[in-house]
């Protein structure tokens, strides 16, 4: 009888102990906020999406995590390869798996518009907030928020859409046109549009064909290669034969980025190469092109330029840690900090409450001042929904140029943008004048 009582006591003791341990595990699990980081992880853009998120999570966790009603929560990142450059179905299934299997609380990342539009349906069906750092710029992704708010409100990004990207690009192309007029005496520079066949680029092509002639330039042709093109010889030869003075190029992260920089330099095409090239944002681009990219000029959402007090420290920390310059998808860093601030203000992880606080965002990020357009602005301009204000005092973007192995700041250059006087005088510390390629000057000099 005594032995039986002892056994019951031991069993009871261990049952209580197991219960306490299980409760401790559950409490610990509740103190984690799981964020799925999505992207084409076999490509640099996916890697940088992960790196940017990783730096933010580490900084936040080291400072005590995300505090929800007095309780500290640690961020746990889950890395997910969407394979979106090669397969939209893969991207969709990855999003579904993060939500239903990995049970993430939030999503960040994304690099391809065509995949995003499908992934947004998964996000909306499950009511999971998804923040995009720098990869997806098509206006449709935010127009959906304005037109069907209750369904798509869970989407937001930390950079303006491709309409504003286009305006920035027109400004740096105009900078080249001014140089051509001043140094070469060519009054109407001829522009070739060499822009990858991608949905987010379509509005820029259309806008360029309408806007550049009004800016005193002539469009001599449009070339739309695949994002995965590995050789641009045919396009570049045709552009040279068309007599272009400027190649306005857009390459967003496939193999075409290196192909254009290498081909242009090797063939010594006598035209300024200026526009947007994700691969050209990377430290390794100089070597990848065999040093042929010298004098290529690009738009970037940030660089080692003081857009805010956070930009240069972030840039330097990224380089020290990963031995690379951060490219656009690394702006997931800002996404995670916006999530942190919104969660803490909301005092909950509940999606609707957090979204309400995201809409109130007014904070300093690596991209500049992040302030979201109010809902009243969405009525007339629906593509402004859930994205930050563009322009001085908000997100401006920057222009950079390759000079002997370095990327230097060349824009904003103090001129008005598309007739907007508020840009006049805006020039970040360290910015230098844009330079035309020497072989171009030699070819066209009268």
pLDDT, tens digit, for every residue of 95-128? 999 999 999 999 999 999 999 999 999 999 999 9
Pick the CATH number of 31-159+309-384 from 3.40.50.2300, 3.30.460.80, 2.40.50.140, 3.40.50.360: 3.40.50.2300
CA 26 from chain centre, in angstroms, equals 36
Both tokens of 256, joined, read: 């075409």
Report the SS3 class of residue 198. coil
Both tokens of 390, joined, read: 């563009």
How many CB atoms are located within 10 Å of the residue 324 CB? Answer: 17
Same fold, 31-159+309-384 and 163-300+412-444: yes
Q: Which residues contact 327 (CB under 8 A, 6 or more apart)?
A: 44, 45, 48, 134, 278, 281, 282, 300
Please, what is the Cα angle at 118 between 102 and 361, to 5 degrees? 75
* pLDDT attached to residue 446: 66
CB 339 within 8 A of CB 131: yes
Phi then psi for residue 423, to 5 deg, are: -80, -15
Fold of 163-300+412-444: Rossmann fold (3.40.50)
pLDDT at 316 over 70: yes
Q: Where are the beta strands (DSSP E) in 239-323?
A: 246-251, 272-277, 297-300
Who wins on pLDDT, 274 or 228? 274
In the DSSP assignment, the letter for residue 301 is S
> What is the share, in percent, of the chain residues with pLDDT greater than 70?
93
pLDDT, tens digit, for every residue of 340-357? 999 999 999 999 999 999
pLDDT at 397 over 50: yes
Least confident of 41-45, 273-277, 364-368: 41-45
What are the structural domain ranges in the chain? 31-159+309-384, 163-300+412-444
Which H or E element spans position 114?
helix 113-126
pTM to 2 decimal places: 0.85
* Average pLDDT of the residues in 434-444: 96
Report the SS3 class of residue 255. coil
pLDDT, tens digit, for every residue of 216-256? 999 999 999 988 889 999 999 999 999 999 999 999 866 78
* Total length of the chain: 446
* Average pLDDT of the residues in 139-149: 97
The band of 4, judged by pLDDT with boundaries at 50, 70 and 90, is: very low
Both tokens of 388, joined, read: 């930050």
pLDDT, tens digit, for every residue of 283-294? 889 999 999 999
In DSSP terms, which residues pair with 402 in a beta bridge?
Answer: 407
Which residue's structure tokens are 């140029």? 401
Who wins on pLDDT, 83 or 8? 83
Rounded to whole angstroms, how far apart are CA atoms 200 and 160? Answer: 13
* Average pLDDT of the residues in 400-427: 92
Q: Which residues contact 230 (CB under 8 A, 6 or more apart)?
A: 255, 256, 259
Average of per-residue pLDDT values in the chain:
91
End-to-end CA distance of the chain: 112
Q: Where are the beta strands (DSSP E) in 204-261?
A: 218-223, 246-251
Which H or E element spans position 387?
none
């Amino acid at each position: 009888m005594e032995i039986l009582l002892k056994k019951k006591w031991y069993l009871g003791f261990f049952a209580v102990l197991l219960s306490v341990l299980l409760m401790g595990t559950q409490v610990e699990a509740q103190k984690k906020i799981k964020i799925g980081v999505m992207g084409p992880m076999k490509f640099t853009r996916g890697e940088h999406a992960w790196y940017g998120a990783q730096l933010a999570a580490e900084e936040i966790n080291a400072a005590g995590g995300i505090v929800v009603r007095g309780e500290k929560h640690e961020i746990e990142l889950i890395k997910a390869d969407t394979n979106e450059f090669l397969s939209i179905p893969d991207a969709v299934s990855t999003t579904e798996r993060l939500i239903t299997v990995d049970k993430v609380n939030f999503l960040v990342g994304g690099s391809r518009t065509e995949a995003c539009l499908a992934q947004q349906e998964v996000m909306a069906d499950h009511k999971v907030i998804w923040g995009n750092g720098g990869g997806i710029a098509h206006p449709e992704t935010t127009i959906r928020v304005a037109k069907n708010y209750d369904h798509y409100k869970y989407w937001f990004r930390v950079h303006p859409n491709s309409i504003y990207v286009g305006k920035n690009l027109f400004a740096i192309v105009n900078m080249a046109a001014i140089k051509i007029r001043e140094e070469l005496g060519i009054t109407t520079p001829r522009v070739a549009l060499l822009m990858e066949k991608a949905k987010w680029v379509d509005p820029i092509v259309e806008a360029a064909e309408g806007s550049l002639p009004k800016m005193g330039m002539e469009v001599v042709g449009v070339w739309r290669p695949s994002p995965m093109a590995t050789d641009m010889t045919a396009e570049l030869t045709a552009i040279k034969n068309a007599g272009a003075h400027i190649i306005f190029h857009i390459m967003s992260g496939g193999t075409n980025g290196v192909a254009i920089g290498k081909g242009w330099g090797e063939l010594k095409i006598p035209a300024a190469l200026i526009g947007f090239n994700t691969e050209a944002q990377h430290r390794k681009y100089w070597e990848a092109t065999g040093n042929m990219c010298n004098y290529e000029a690009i738009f970037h959402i940030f660089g080692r330029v003081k857009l805010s007090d956070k930009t240069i420290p972030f840039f330097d920390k990224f380089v020290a840690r990963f031995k690379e310059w951060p490219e656009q998808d690394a702006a997931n860093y800002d996404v995670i900090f916006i999530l942190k601030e919104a969660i803490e203000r909301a005092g909950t992880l509940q999606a609707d409450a957090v979204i309400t606080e995201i809409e109130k965002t007014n904070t300093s990020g690596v991209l500049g001042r992040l302030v979201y357009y109010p809902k009243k602005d969405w009525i007339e301009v629906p593509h402004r929904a859930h994205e930050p204000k563009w322009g001085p005092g908000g997100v401006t973007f920057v222009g950079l140029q390759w000079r002997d192995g370095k990327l230097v700041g060349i824009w904003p250059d103090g001129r008005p943008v598309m007739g907007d006087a508020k840009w006049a005088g805006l020039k970040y510390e360290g910015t230098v004048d844009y330079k035309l390629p020497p072989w171009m000057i030699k070819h066209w000099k009268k």
